[in-house]
Every structure is written in structure tokens, then in C-alpha cells.
Amino acid sequence: MLRFKAAIFTLLLLLLFCLSAAAQTAEELSDTAALEEPVYEIPRLAQVTNFEAKDSPDDAGGEIELTWDLSVDDKKEDGLVSKYVVLRSQNPTSDFHIVGVANHRDSSYIDKNLKEGTDYYYKIVTFPKYQGEVRLTREEIDPLMEQYPELTELDIKDVSMLAEYDRDIMSVFDDNILGISRVAGPVKSRAQWFNSKDLDTLIIGLTICISVVIFIGMARGGRKLFLRRIGGLQAIENAIGRATEMGKSILFIPGIQDMDDVQTVAGITILGRIAKTIAEYDTKINMPVSRSIVMTTARETIKEAYLSAGRPDAYSDDMVHYITDEQFGYVAAVDGIMVREKPATCFYLGAFFAESLIMAETGNSIGAIQIAGTAMPAQLPFFVAACDYTLIGEELFAASAYLSGEPKQLGSLKGQDVGKFIAMVFIIIGAVFATLAALTGSEDILEITNMIKSWFSA
Amino acid sequence: MNPKTIKLIIFIVILTSIVLSVYFVSMDRDSIREGIFVTSAAFLTLFIMSFLYKDNPYYKFAEHLFVGVSAAYWMTMGFWGTMMPNLVAKLWPGAVRGVLPALAEKDASYWFVIPLFLGLVLLMRLSPKGGWISRWALAFIVGTTAGLNLIRYLRSDFIAQVNNTIIPLVDKTEAGISFWGSFSNIFVFIGVLCGLIYFFFSKEHKGFFGGAARIGILVLMLTFGAGFGYTVMARISLLAGRMTYLFGDWLGLIN
């Protein structure tokens, strides 16, 4: 009897175990089915309308501009649209790939880095917000991203939503699941010769350039062009004379930029005039530079100045010597030269950065007369504080014209004055209209103000 | 005491300090390499700062080391950062396969024969008789740069400036006319106009024009004053950075 009871009990246990195993298997099977079958219903949103693709205007080529009217669903408050996905293909019926996304409520997109002259076709997908949870793991996402690199344009949530519909994610864009626009195209990108957006720059530039040419012509024709005196320039000759009397050298620093900086060019032009006076006075000049091309140009300039002063024998290439391109290495060396040679005069004419105060302070400490000139707004305060004379901003460029007396430079300066006059006139007219618009609230006056401003839109 | 003896004593003290610093920093960081680098940076900083007292051999040493190392560095950078990728790799991509493999796969672009030619022309300066030819390359560099910069400066220094100065002189808000807003706009308007007058070279600064120019230079000086203070504060932060290195990284006195 005991054996019979034990057998029944064992059978019951076995039955219980089997039932439990069967239940677990059923649960696992149901889980797998959940991943394989769609459990999230992707809302199908209204497609965009009036979708057009055209070559991007006023560009250097390689860009196509897409425009559309917003999906009806995107116009609603708290709508379901999360973004617009841009699809591109070179075939009107197949091979569409994601090339970018535009935010919801955006109605344009510029597709860049395209091959010029190639036909492209586009579609816009009205992409819904995902209301569910991200169920994909990193291990599942990585292979998907590897298979479809274009998915990086989408968020993880978007990928998860698409994966819930079908593990062959890109098929969603072919099925009738999402709101997909009609195909726009074919369209080719082309470069334009003329950028109409820069028309204002062209007109202003031409006006100034024509003024410059007219004034150069006037100067060449022998007409005397008036230029007002520039304070710092009066001091240059005195400073050279002082160095001559003291029997000391003159230090010339052309800044730390290369010849592609207009300030360096202006500095070197002034150097030509200074070098000529130095040659006439038989004074010494020392010019450490931080750029090799500046060294070459400066040597040419000084050589020519010595030649025109009738002292070619006094010229030496050692007058201009390269130090290093490194900003503070150059400053350390210049400071060393200053305290060891104790020049009577220091010129700082060109483009300067953080080294300006270090050099000007050292020059001040050795009692040198210092003349600076730069158009770097952040460095001007230091030169103003530490130097005897400072050519502020455009005075540096004006100085080179004033000193050289060349028709080209004088004409250029006068032409720039025309530009400044135009600027003053339009500022006054624009400000008057803007003030009237603010006081009266008139839309018409505001429109005139905006029109004047638009002529100066950089 | 004999000046030479004083110099010798200073030299011995500095040398001993360097040796001790290398020893202690190495012990602290378990690395002789670290000890040498940290000590070198700290002492070179002190050598450069010694210029505040006066020119001395230690400053000269640091200065020459800095100049020499930086000149060599920039030469190397010029070769590997400009010559190789922008010239050699463009003309003979196969030649850089061993050093710049990514560039070796691209097609040759023979337009780069032009900069090569200009570069060689620039080197003609080394020739006593053909030095004048180098001016061609220089003229090309200066002329091209001037042309390219014309548009850039016209936009940033002229067109944008005019656009930003077309403002109402009366700042009208919903609450009425704002005094400080209007003051600010009038100040900007007058400041820009007077500044332009100061930089107008075709007329002598006399009478009304002279008065406006004086206001212009006054506005400029106010701007310079603000700029001076701002930049000095930035320099103080640089000094603080060096002090942090000396007292923190080197001496370990601050965390």
C-alpha cells in the first residue's frame, strides 16, 4: 500500500513538473511571437503637399533645395509629426535612401555634397512620433546600423519603432505604412556664375573701386589730392633722427602675420619710407620677423629703399632676420634683442596679438621712443597705453599712402573716403526712417527702413 | 664678494634645486620621466619669469631653447602639414603611401603644378642673378590676398557695420519710451558717425568736423579702456594658470 501511495505521489509530481515546463515554453513562445509580429501600430500621417525639388540658387554647385507644404497633421497643435525624412535616389521608382531629416514644422531642406549634372529623385516621409518604449538592445541596434548606415540620421526611438513593424527596417519606407510624398525630380545641381544675394556687395564694391580708379587717374594727371595730417607720422622722422643722434639702432616689428594680411602689407609699405630715411641718415635698422615670406619681402623693400637713397653699399641682408613662427618664442627673442641692443626707436607696424603689450612694455622699459600702428581692435589699447604714438586702425593704411605719396595709394585712400561718406549718408537716412517708424508705428516707413537695411545685408 | 663667485653660487643652487626637484617629483609620481618633464617645465617657467628682474643667462637659455625648438617644430609642421598633404600628395599620391595612406588613394591633381612653380620661383631668391624672379611669386601672393580680402572686409567692416547702425534713435517699448534704450541707441549712432569722421582723411579736422572727430577719438578711447580691462583680466587668468602649475603640479602645495 505504501509503495502504491509513493508511486501515485511520484506520478503527481511528474505531472506537475510537465505542466510547469509546458507553461514556461508557451510563455517563451509568446514572447518570441511578440518580437516577430507588430505590436505597435505606426500611425499613418498625411503626406506633405506641393513637394518640389530644384537646383539651389546662387551656389557653387552640389546642392539641391527641397520645399513642401506642411503635412495636415503637422499643422495641428500637439501633432503626431516628429520630423520629415528625406529620401533620395537616382532612380524614380526604387533605391531610395535616407539622406537627411528636417524638423517638424520645417518646410525646406537643402541636400548637399551632390554630384553636379546627375539626375536625382526625392521623396519626403512624414515621420510620426513614437509613443512606445525603446525595446531594442544595443546588441540588436548595432547590426542594424551596420546594415543600414543611413539610419544614423534617425533617433534610436525611431529605429525601435520601425523595428517593431519589421526587422527589415527599410521595407517600411516601401510599404504603404508611412505618409510618403510623391516623387519629385529629376533634378540636377549646377554651379551659378552669379550670386544674386551678393548684389549689394557688388554695387558697394564697384562704387568704391570706381571712386578709387577715378582718384588714381586724378592723382596721375597731376591734380593735388588733399590728405589731412596724421599725428603719428610727424613723429617718424623725429624718431629716426633721435636714433641717429644717439648712435643706436632702430627696431622694426612688422607684426606676426604673413604677407596675406593687409596690415603686414601696410607695415612693409611704411617700412620702405622709413628705410629710405634710415639710409639717408646712415642709421642702423634691425628687423626680426616671424614669417619667411615677410623676411623676403622686407629685404626687397629695404634693399630698394637703400638703392633709391643712393646707398646700396650700406644694405645688408642681416638687417632682416627670421626668428621663429611661434608667437611667444618670437616675443621672447624680440624682448631679448631689446634689452641687449637697447634700440633708440621701436616701430610696431602690422598685425599683432597677445604679444603687443609684452613688446611695447619692454620697449618702454628701455626708454625707446615707440611708434605703433595696427588694426587689431583688441591690441590697440595696449599700444595706446605703452607707446608714444599710435596709428589707430585705418590710420595705418592711410599712413602708408601718405608717406609713399604714390598716386595709386592716394587714390585708394580717397576712394575709401567716398565709401565712408556713403556709409554716413545711409546711416543717417536709415536712422531717421527707423526713428520715424518707431514713433509713428507706420508700416510704410518701417518697410522703407527695412529696404535700406536690406541694401546692407552682409 | 666677487660677482663671478656669486654667479657660481647661484648656478650651483639652481642646479641642486633641479636635481632635488627631479628626485622628489619622480618619487612622488613613480616615474623619472615625469620628474624630468615637470621639473623642466617649472624651471623654464621660472627662467622666463626672471626677465621681470632683468636680462640674465637663465632667461637667455630659456629664450634660445624656446626659439630653437619652436623654429624646428614649425619647420616640421610646415613640411608634414603643408608640403606633404597639399603638394606632394596632390601631385604624386603614390609617393605618400607610406606616411599618409588616406591621401595616397586619391587621384592626382595637376593644378598643383602652379603652386609648385611659384614655390620654386620664390626660391630663386637664393640665386644672386635670378633673385628678381622671386618677386613674381610675392606679387601673386600679395595681389591674390588683397583681392580675396576685399570682399571679406567689405562685408564685415563696412556693410555689416552700416546695417547694425541703422537703428531707431528712440527706443519705444510697450510701456512707453525707454530712456536708457534710447540713450544707448543715440550713443551708438553718434559714436559710429563721429568715429567715421575721425577716420575721414579728405578734410582737415577743424570747426564742426574737428569737434565731431574729437568726439570720435573719445569714443575710441572709451572702447580701448574697456578692452584694456577685459584683456588684462584674461592675462591674469593666464598667470593664474602658470601659478597653478608651479604650486600645484610641481610643488604639490595646492590641489
A277 shares a domain with A131? no
Q: Give chain B positions within 8 Å (CB) of A434.
A: 166-169
- Candidate from A135-139, B34-38, B59-63, B103-107 with smallest mean pLDDT: A135-139
CA distance A151 to A131: 19
Percentages of chain A per state (helix, strand, coil), in multiples of 5: 55, 15, 30
A431 shares a domain with A347? no
A173 shares a domain with A209? no
- For chain B, how many structural domains are there in total? 2
A267 shares a domain with A164? no
B2: containing domain = 1-54
What mean pLDDT, rounded, does chain A reach? 84
A210 shares a domain with A150? no
Amino acid occupying residue B18: I
**Hey, is the C-beta of A378 within 8 angstroms of any chain B C-beta?**
yes
A139 shares a domain with A96? yes
- Percent pLDDT > 90 in chain B is 52
CATH code of the domain covering residue A333: 3.40.50.720
Residue B194's closest CA among B224, B161, B217, B160?
A: B217
Q: End of a domain among A137, A168, A187?
A: A187
Assess if residue B192 is contained within a domain: yes
Closest CB from B145, B154, B156 relative to A205: B154
**Hey, is the C-beta of A381 within 8 angstroms of any chain B C-beta?**
yes
What is the nearest CA distance from B240 to chain A, expressed in angstroms? 16
Region A116-129: mean pLDDT is 87
| DSSP class per residue in A275-295 | HHHHHHHT--EEEEES-HHHH
Residue A164's closest CA among A128, A132, A126?
A: A132
Q: Give chain B positions within 8 Å (CB) of A381.
A: 224-225, 227-228, 231
Assess if residue A420 is contained within a domain: yes
Complex ipTM, two decimals? 0.84
- For chain A, how many structural domains are there in total? 3
A306 shares a domain with A371? yes
Q: B164-195 burial string, b = 16+ CB within 10 Å, else e?
A: ebbbbbbbbeeeeeeeeebeebbebbebbbbb
Q: How many CA atoms lie within 13 A of A224 on its CB side?
A: 2
Q: What is the pLDDT of residue A261?
A: 84
Mutate to test the interface with A, among B56, B158, B204, B219 (most CBs of A within 10 A): B158
Task: Tell me the three state secondary structure of residue A349.
Answer: strand
A102: containing domain = 49-187
A448 shares a domain with A326? no
Instruction: Evaluate if residue B162 carries a pLDDT over 70.
Output: yes
Assess if residue A18 is contained within a domain: no
A322 shares a domain with A356? yes
Interhelix angle for B32-49 vs B57-78, to 10°? 110
Closest CB from A354, A384, A431 relative to B169: A431
pLDDT digits (tens, 9 = 90+) for B148-159: 888 888 888 889
Mutate to test the interface with B, among A320, A420, A452 (most CBs of B within 10 A): A420
**Hey, is the C-beta of B125 within 8 angstroms of any chain A C-beta?**
yes
CATH code of the domain covering residue A74: 2.60.40.10
Q: End of a domain among B16, B32, B54?
A: B54
The 8-class DSSP code of residue A315 comes to: -
CA distance A57 to A179: 29
Q: End of a domain among B9, B36, B54?
A: B54
Region B62-75: mean pLDDT is 94
What mean pLDDT, rounded, does chain B reach? 90
Other beta carbons within 10 angstroms of residue A297's beta carbon come to 25
Assess if residue A284 is contained within a domain: yes
pLDDT digits (tens, 9 = 90+) for A66-96: 998 888 777 777 777 888 888 888 888 878 8
pLDDT digits (tens, 9 = 90+) for A55-66: 988 888 888 999
Percentages of chain B per state (helix, strand, coil), in multiples of 5: 80, 0, 15
Pairing of strands B171-173, B176-178: antiparallel
Instruction: Evaluate if residue B214 carries a pLDDT over 90.
Output: yes
CA distance A163 to A161: 5
